[in-house]
Amino acid sequence: MSPTGIEQLWMIDIYSLVVASLLVAMAVLGERFGRRRNLLIGAVIFAMASAAGALATSPWMLIGARALLGVGGAIMMPSTLSLVRNMFLDRQQRRYAMAVWAAMASVGAAVGPIVGGWVIDTFSWQAAFLMNIPVMLLLLVLGPFLLPESRNPDLHRIDVLSVVLSFVGLIGVVYAIKTFAGGTDMAIGVAALVLGVVAIALFVRRQLTLTTPLLDVRLFRIPYFRGAVVADLLSILAMVGALVALIQHLQLVLDLSPSRASVWLIPQAILAAVAAFAAATLVKRFLPAYVISAGLLIAAAGFALTLFLSPTSSPALIATCLALVALGAGIGLALSNDIIMSSVKPERAGQAAAISETAYELGTTLGTAVLGGVLVTWYTRVVTSGTESLDLPASLAERASATMAEAHLVAAEVGGPTGAAVLEVAKDAFTEAITVTGIAGAAIMALAAIWAGVTLRAPLPTRTWPQGTNANSSTEQHSPWVDGAAAETR
C-alpha cells in the first residue's frame, strides 16, 4: 500500500472529523434508546471497523475503516460519561468514579503511543487495529452484566433537521481548522468555516425554539458548566499541541529509537493515573477552582521547562516536562469533567457528555493546528536562514526546511560535512521551535488556570439524592437548578 500525500492526510484526519461531527447526535440517540445499549452498539461497530482496517488492501479501504472507527467512537465516548453520571448519584462517590474514568482516559492516552509503537515495530501496522478487538469483545461480554441501563424519559422525538445542522456545523468547523493548519486549499477552508458557522448558528437558534431540543444549549447559562467546558478546551489545546512536539524531540533530535523513547514516557503514564485520584483527594479540602488552577499551573511549569532545552539535553528533561504536564493537566481535566457532569440534571448527562467530548475534539484539532502551526512555521524560518550558507541546491534546502524528519533524509543523501551541518542546523531549529511552542503552551495553560480560578471559584451547589432515587426521574424537589440554570444564591 503506497498512499499519496492526500490519502495520508485523510487517513489521519477522517477519524477526528467523524467523531467531532457525530458526538451530539449520537449522545442524543443514547439518551433516547439507552446509554448502555448505545455503548455496546458502538463497541460492535468499533470492533468491525478494526477488523476492516486490519484487512484493508488499499488506501481508501483504510480511510473507510478509519471513518467507521469514528462512528463507533462517537457512539461510545459520550455514553461512558453519561453512564457514570447516572450510576453514581452521591457526589463523593461520583467524584471518585470520575477520577477512575479520567485516570483510565489519561493512562490510555499516555500508554497508547508506547504500546502502539511496540506493536507496529514487533508485528505490523495491521496488528495495531487487531489489538482493539479483544478489548471491545470484553466490553460486550461484561457490559450487559455490570452496567445498568438508563435513558432520558423526557426525550420523546429526535429532530432530524437538528441532527443534520449539528453534523454540518461541526464537520465544517473542524475541516476548516485542519485545512488552515495544512496551508493548502485556503478557499475551501474558508468556505467550510462559513458553512460550519452558519449551520451552528441555525442549530442554536432552532434548539431555542424546540420543546424538546436535540441539545439544550441553555446548559451554557450554568456558570460552572460554561467555565469548565472552556477550561477543558483551552487545556486540551495547549496539551495536545505541545506534547506532540516534545515527543518528537526524543526521536528526531535525540535520535532515540521508538522503544527507547517509549521508556521515557513511562513517568508520564504513571503520573497521569495518579493525577485524577490526587484531584479527588485535594478537592475535599480546597475549592475545585483552586485545585484546577493549581493543576493547570503545574502543567504550564512543565511546558516552561522547554526554556532549558537544547539539542544535547538529557531525555530526562523531556520526561520531566511530560510528567509535569501529565500531572497538572490530569488534575485539571479530572475535576473539570466532574464539574461538567455534576452541574446538570442526571437526565441531561448525555448532552453534557456530548459537549464535553466535543470540546475535547475541538481542543485536539485546534492544538494540532495552532501550536503545530507555530512549531512548523518557526522551524521552517530558522532552517531556511541557517542553510543559506551551506550552498545546498534549492530543492534540498526546501525539503530540509519542511520537517525535521525530511531534514534527516536530506542529511543522509548529502552526506559528509555538509550533511552533518544540515542535520545540526535542523536540530537547533527544531529545538528552538519546540521552546517557542512550549512557551505558547505554557501561556495557554496559564490562561486556562486564570479562567478556571475566576469562573469556578464559588462552591458548586450540592445535590443530595435520596437513596433509591431514580436517576431518570425528572423530579427535582431539592434541586439547585431552575430552568436549566444554576441558582445563583450561595
Per-residue pLDDT tens over the stretch 193-227: 899 899 999 988 998 888 777 777 888 888 888 88
Task: List Cβ neighbours of 55 (8 Å cut-off, separation of 6 or more).
Answer: 61, 126
pLDDT of residue 240: 80
Who wins on pLDDT, 20 or 294?
294
**171 near 196, Cβ under 8 Å?**
yes
- Which secondary-structure segment (H or E) carries 482? strand 481-482
> Residue 105: how many CA atoms within 13 Å on its side-chain side?
20
Indicate whether this model's pTM tops 0.85: no
**241 near 313, Cβ under 8 Å?**
no
CA dihedral 105, 225, 288, 458 (to 10 degrees): 180
Rounded-to-integer distance, Cα 7 and Cα 3, Å: 6
Please tell me what DSSP assigns to residue 461: P
- Cell readout for 45 is 461497530
Residue 207: CB atoms within 10 Å: 19
Residue 122: CB atoms within 10 Å: 9
Checking if the pLDDT of 486 tops 60, the result is: no
- Residue labelled with grid coordinates 433509591: 468
Q: Which amino acid is at 149?
A: E
Report pLDDT digits (tens) over 419-441.
888 889 999 999 999 999 999 99
Report pLDDT digits (tens) over 381-392.
888 888 888 878
Residue 148: CB atoms within 10 Å: 10
Residue 443: CB atoms within 10 Å: 14
Mean pLDDT computed over every residue of the chain? 81
Checking if the pLDDT of 468 tops 50, the result is: no
pLDDT of residue 197: 92
- Cell readout for 368 is 494540532
Please tell me what DSSP assigns to residue 391: T
- Cell readout for 452 is 478556571
pLDDT of residue 110: 66
Rounded-to-integer distance, Cα 11 and Cα 3, Å: 9
- Residue labelled with grid coordinates 485535594: 282
Task: Single out the residue of 294, 309, 302, 293 nearest to residue 325, CA to CA.
Answer: 302
- Which secondary-structure segment (H or E) carries 486? strand 485-486
- Which secondary-structure segment (H or E) carries 180? helix 160-182
pLDDT bucket at 60, cuts 50 / 70 / 90: confident
Please tell me what DSSP assigns to residue 368: I
**327 near 274, Cβ under 8 Å?**
yes
3-state helix, strand, coil in the chain (%, to 5): 80, 0, 20
Percent of the chain residues past pLDDT 90, beyond the cut:
21
Who wins on pLDDT, 255 or 445?
445
Rounded-to-integer distance, Cα 384 and Cα 361, Å: 33
Task: Single out the residue of 145, 178, 152 nearest to residue 6, CA to CA.
Answer: 178
pLDDT of residue 34: 83
Report pLDDT digits (tens) over 96-149.
787 777 777 777 766 776 677 677 777 777 888 888 899 999 999 998 988 888
**95 near 338, Cβ under 8 Å?**
yes
